[in-house]
């Protein structure tokens, strides 16, 4: 399909509006020491049904029509933004598990994931969960999304907050980021399984699942997605880094010689395609590709390559802000949104996550004050929370009102975590208990 001059102009207007609002509001958020990604989402909200749709419905429908070339192109750009965001997240999963912090990391990770997950199962027994389902919703996929939405922590958001506070090189930061890395890996595995299972119910199986004759929505489908996702991740992490490095050194690898940036992007696309063939969701394939590239750099003892940095810089300038802005532009806080349910879910999700992290920290020997600081910090849901919501909504697992609840939850918890940590004196924030591990032995009292 060829695009007319009018179509091209219309597409550029939509992209320009998204970029303008995303970067403008994102910059304002940074100036008040709040996460840029949250500001980019809020910038998109200005263009959507929550604001522009109320002030000038005709302008909103003209900028973002429901049909034609504009929604197709904008959706494609946003999808690329998601893939690049997941790829970047994977490349940044580095060695942050310091020996002195590993006991707390392990304990907080276990309680911070298991308890919210179990709480999510219990809550779904007493609420009308079907009222929150999307067109492809089912008990299994919705339960998985609901549980991980309660347990998720944002690496980019909380790391940016701690960077601004000047504590990114401390034991406190290592604990928070160490737990967040482990949670993100579990999060994206579970999310990939949930979306794959829901996608099967819509008859979208293809590739290996289709060749094996697996029927969507069956127990065999669920087992396949669990084992397939775990196998894809495990095999990729075992053989992927060395394969990636050796391929990069081959003389016949003309794309690497021509442009290392193009090589990394092509590798990301190929791994994503491989994942799709196996039945893995595209966002998880891009995340695994990033893990491989990051692990390859770690094996060679080097920092992020110039190619990775170039991809990150351009992605953060164009694709990722558009992704977050599109999320905001689809957020409807007027029609069907229940402030009472949001308040309930906010209190319950934050309370369960905070108590879970607190118990894990105390079990590891952290002080009462440090445990509560960890509990607040680990509640920042940010980017991963938005990814969970947008991916589940696109897969038809959740409906529009619950999607709005999850997006707003990610925004509010990120702002609350930043505000809390900014007001804690540095000496109180960094207090550690006397029995935190140091090189395998209890630490001496300071």
Confidence (pLDDT) at 311: 94
Residues 6+ apart with CB under 8 A from 249: none
Whether 211 shows a pLDDT value over 80: the answer reads no
- Lowest-confidence segment of 39-43, 92-96, 368-372 by average pLDDT: 92-96
> What distances in angstroms separate CA 251 from CA 53, 151, 154, 258, one per listed residue?
55, 46, 40, 11
User: Of the given ranges (40-44, 277-281, 349-353), which has the lowest mean pLDDT?
Assistant: 277-281
Contact 63, 17 (CB under 8 A): yes
Owner of token pair 């970047």: 88
Does residue 224 carry a pLDDT above 90?
Answer: no
Least confident of 28-32, 198-202, 212-216, 345-349: 198-202
pLDDT value, residue 34:
79
Residue ranges with strand state E in 138-182: none
User: Does the structure show a pLDDT above 80 at 430?
Assistant: no
The DSSP secondary-structure symbol of 398 reads B
Provide the Cα torsion 109, 111, 114, 120; round to 10°. -120
H-state helical runs in 282-381: 282-299, 306-314, 320-329, 339-363, 368-377
Residue 164 pLDDT > 70, yes or no? no
Asked if residue 328 has pLDDT above 70, the reply is yes
Indicate if the pLDDT at residue 183 is higher than 70: yes
Helices marked H in 215-319: 219-249, 254-258, 260-278, 282-299, 306-314
Per-residue pLDDT of 383-406, as tens digits, reads: 788 888 988 998 899 999 999 999
Residue 204 has pLDDT above 70, yes or no: no
Within 10 Å of residue 270's Cβ, how many Cβ atoms?
12
Q: Is the pLDDT of residue 196 over 50?
A: yes
Put residue 202 in one of left, alpha, beta given phi > 0 → left and psi -120 to 50 → alpha.
Answer: alpha
Q: Please give the pLDDT value at position 127.
A: 84
Specify the range with the lowest mean pLDDT, choosing from 42-46, 59-63, 87-91. 87-91
Distance CA 42, CA 446 (A): 44
> Is residue 415 predicted with pLDDT exceeding 70?
yes
Band of residue 201 on the pLDDT scale cut at 50, 70, 90: very low
- What is the pLDDT averaged over residues 113-137? 88
Which tens digit of pLDDT belongs to each residue from 138-160? 888 899 999 888 888 776 667 66
Q: What average pLDDT does this structure show over 234-261?
A: 90
Residue 166, helix vs strand vs coil: coil
Residue 408, SS3 per DSSP: helix
Task: Pick the range with the lowest mean pLDDT from 39-53, 152-166, 282-296.
Answer: 152-166
Q: What is the pLDDT of residue 216?
A: 60
For residue 206, the model assigns a pLDDT of: 60
With a cut of 80, say whether residue 304 has pLDDT above it: no
The pLDDT of 100-112, averaged and rounded, is: 84
Tokens found for residue 293:
């590239």
| DSSP output for 84-145 | HHHHHHHHT------GGGHHHHHHHHHHHHHHHHHHHHHHHTTS-GGGGB-TT--HHHHHHH
Between 264 and 211, residue with greater pLDDT: 264
Check pLDDT > 50 for residue 441: no
pLDDT for residue 334 is more than 80: yes
* pTM recorded for the entire structure: 0.79
Report residue 211 CA to chain centroid gap: 31
pLDDT at 162: 67
Q: Are 330 and 85 in contact (CB under 8 A)?
A: no
pLDDT at residue number 140: 86
In whole angstroms, what is the distance from residue 28 CA to residue 36 CA? 8
Contacts of 383 (CB under 8 A, 6+ apart): 37, 85, 89, 154, 155, 156, 157, 410
Q: How far apart are CA 167 and CA 169, in angstroms?
A: 6
CA atoms within 13 A on the CB side of 109: 21
Q: Is the pLDDT reported for residue 433 higher than 70?
A: no
Dmax over CA atoms of the chain, in Å, equals 72
Burial of 105 (0-12, 13-18, 19+ CB in 10 A): buried
Residue 124 pLDDT exceeds 80: yes
Question: Distance between CA 206 and CA 276 in Å, rounded?
Answer: 8
pLDDT of residue 236 exceeding 50? yes
Quick one: pLDDT band at residue 263, thresholds 50, 70, 90? very high
Give the whole-angstrom CA distance, residue 236 versus residue 417.
Answer: 34
Q: Which two tokens stand for residue 435?
A: 């029995």
Cα 30–Cα 383–Cα 91 angle in degrees, nearest 5: 100
Q: Is the pLDDT of residue 202 over 70?
A: no
Average the pLDDT over 131-135 and give the result: 90
Return the pLDDT at 284.
Answer: 84
Question: What is the average pLDDT score of the chain?
Answer: 83
Q: Which domains does the chain have, with CATH numbers?
A: 77-432 (1.20.1530)
Ranking 152-156, 203-207, 256-260, 295-299 by mean pLDDT, the lowest is 203-207
Higher per-residue confidence, 233 vs 266: 266
Model confidence at 72: pLDDT above 80 = yes
């Amino acid at each position: 399909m060829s695009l007319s001059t009018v179509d091209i102009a219309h597409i550029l207007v939509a992209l320009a509006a998204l970029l303008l609002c995303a970067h403008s509001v994102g910059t304002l958020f940074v100036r008040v020491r709040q996460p840029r990604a949250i500001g980019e989402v809020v910038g998109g909200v200005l263009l959507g049904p929550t604001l522009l749709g109320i002030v000038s419905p005709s302008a909103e429908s003209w900028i973002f029509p429901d049909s034609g070339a504009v929604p197709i192109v904008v959706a494609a750009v946003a999808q690329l933004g998601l893939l690049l965001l997941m790829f970047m997240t994977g490349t940044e999963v580095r060695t942050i598990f310091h020996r002195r912090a590993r006991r707390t990391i392990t304990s907080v990770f276990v309680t911070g994931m298991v308890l919210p997950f179990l709480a999510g199962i219990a809550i779904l027994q007493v609420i009308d969960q079907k009222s929150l389902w999307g067109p492809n919703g089912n008990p299994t996929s919705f339960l998985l999304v609901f549980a991980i939405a309660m347990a998720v922590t944002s690496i980019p958001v909380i790391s940016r907050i701690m960077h601004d506070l000047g504590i990114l090189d401390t034991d406190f930061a290592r604990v928070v980021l160490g737990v967040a890395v482990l949670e993100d890996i579990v999060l994206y595995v579970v999310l990939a399984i949930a979306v794959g299972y829901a996608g099967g119910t819509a008859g979208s199986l293809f590739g290996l699942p289709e060749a094996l004759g697996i029927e969507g929505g069956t127990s065999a489908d669920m087992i396949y997605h669990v084992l397939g996702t775990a196998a894809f991740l495990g095999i990729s992490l075992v053989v992927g880094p060395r394969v990636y490095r050796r391929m990069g050194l081959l003389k016949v690898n003309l794309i690497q010689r021509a442009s290392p940036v193009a090589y990394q992007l092509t590798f990301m696309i190929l791994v994503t395609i491989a994942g799709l063939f196996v039945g893995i969701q595209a966002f998880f394939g891009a995340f695994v590709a990033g893990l491989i590239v990051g692990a390859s750099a770690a094996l060679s003892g080097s920092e992020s390559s110039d190619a990775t940095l170039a991809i990150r810089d351009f992605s953060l300038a164009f694709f990722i802000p558009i992704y977050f802005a599109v999320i905001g532009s689809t957020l409807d806080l007027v029609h069907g949104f229940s402030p009472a349910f949001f308040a309930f879910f906010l209190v319950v999700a934050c309370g369960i996550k905070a108590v879970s992290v607190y118990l894990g920290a105390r079990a590891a020997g952290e002080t009462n004050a440090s445990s509560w600081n960890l509990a607040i910090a680990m509640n920042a849901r940010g980017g991963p929370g938005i990814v969970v919501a947008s991916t589940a909504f696109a897969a038809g697992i959740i409906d529009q009102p619950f999607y709005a609840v999850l997006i707003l939850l990610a925004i509010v918890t990120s702002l609350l975590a930043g505000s809390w940590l900014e007001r804690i004196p540095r000496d109180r924030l960094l207090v550690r208990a006397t029995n935190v591990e140091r090189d395998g032995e209890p630490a001496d009292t300071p």
